[in-house]
Structure 1
Amino acid sequence: MSVMTGAGTRVFIGSKLTAALSGVDATDLAAMKAAGITYTEIGELVSVGDYGDSVSDVSYTALAKSRVTHLKGVSDGGTTDLTIAFDAGDAGQDALIAASRDRAGFYYLYPIKIQYVDGLTDYLAVTVQGVRKQPGSGNDVVQRVVTVAANSPVLEDPGV
């Protein structure tokens, strides 16, 4: 793999997962790549925000040392925004809207596939938290800003 730009990056949303994640990366990656998962490309993608786990800081102060000690707490996949040029007829955008309205089953998540031009593909299991329109001004393209929350680590598939 080499250094690259974001040009050519594609994002897809998959059909809803029908079981909770196992917490084992290889098993969860296989579930998101399973033949039963249908992925639909999200058209007119403008940008993808940063994504991936961060770990909570757990700290305490040892009086005798006069020093704060930092430990790693729980991992949080956080949220990220997908910015998309509004296209009312795009199947991927429609799938995002449907996923944002789905409240059936707390553990039933939607897989997102982020495919880079060099073949590297990242998979995340997400909930779609919100779909907002961003009209902007007279010289702006009307956009959708879709917030997704990751409930899995980033699962990398080098694709090569």
Structure 2
Amino acid sequence: MPVFATAGAKLSIGSALAAKTADFVASDFDSETWTQIKELESLGSFGDTAQEITFESISDLRTKRFKGTRSAGTMEVVCGIDYADAGQLAAIAAEKTDDNYAFKLEFDDAPEGGTPSERYFVAMVGGASEQLDTANNVMKLNLTLWINSNVVRVNAAEAV
């Protein structure tokens, strides 16, 4: 699959879904009912990084580095405010809880007649703030997603 643009990507929120100690797999999200969050402007970034653990070895005269816990990061999502959008309303409601929610990101990269790439993860909505800026700007909803799971990758597939 060649490279492709972010344009056409869709972000959706599902129901409250508890994090678990083992990695999620795609089938863990099969029973979700998805509500698309519309008017997306920016999706930010996500993906695992390990915490660095260092040890200063006196005899080796060397700093040794080890991997610690992993974090899939914080996804900063920016939307044009739409007071009637069910997805934005669901994300705002999710911010008011202490629950993790299922999220699905779908890319616009499906081969002719095939299925697109998808990413699934569980996150807390840590923030839902309005950004107003100046007269010649669209009012925005900034969503902060604290990802509390691995990110499940499903690649685009050809038609069968």
Offset at 1:157? 1.1
2:10 aligned residue: 10
Offset at 1:125? 0.3
Does 2:148 match 1:151? yes
Q: 2:101 aligns with which of 85, 110, 118?
A: 110
How far apart are the structure 1 equivalents of 2:134 and 2:82? Answer: 17
Matches within 5 A, 1:68-83: 68-83=63-78
1:41 aligned residue: 36
How far apart are the structure 2 equivalents of 1:124 and 1:74? Answer: 17
Query: What is the letter of the counterpart of residue 134 of structure 1?
Result: Q
Does 2:46 match 1:56? no
How far apart are the structure 1 equivalents of 2:13 and 2:2? Answer: 26
In the TM superposition, structure 1's runs of 4+ consecutive aligned residues that sit over 4 Å from their partners are none
Q: TM-score with structure 2 length normalisation?
A: 0.89
Offset at 1:24? 3.4
How far apart are the structure 2 equivalents of 1:159 and 1:95? Answer: 27
Is 74-83 or 132-141 further displaced after alignment? 74-83
The alignment partner of 1:38 has SS state of coil
Offset at 1:79? 1.1
How far apart are the structure 2 equivalents of 1:4 and 1:68? Answer: 40
How far apart are the structure 1 equivalents of 2:78 and 2:143? Answer: 6
1:91 aligned residue: 86
Q: TM-score with structure 1 length normalisation?
A: 0.89
How far apart are the structure 1 equivalents of 2:23 and 2:128? Answer: 30
Q: How many residues align?
A: 151
The alignment partner of 1:30 has SS state of helix
Deviations 1:50-107 (A, max 9, x none): 111110000101112111010101101221210000000000000001111123xxxx
Deviations 1:8-47 (A, max 9, x none): 1110001122x54351333xx2112x23x11000010001
What is the alpha-carbon root mean square deviation over aligned residues? Answer: 1.3
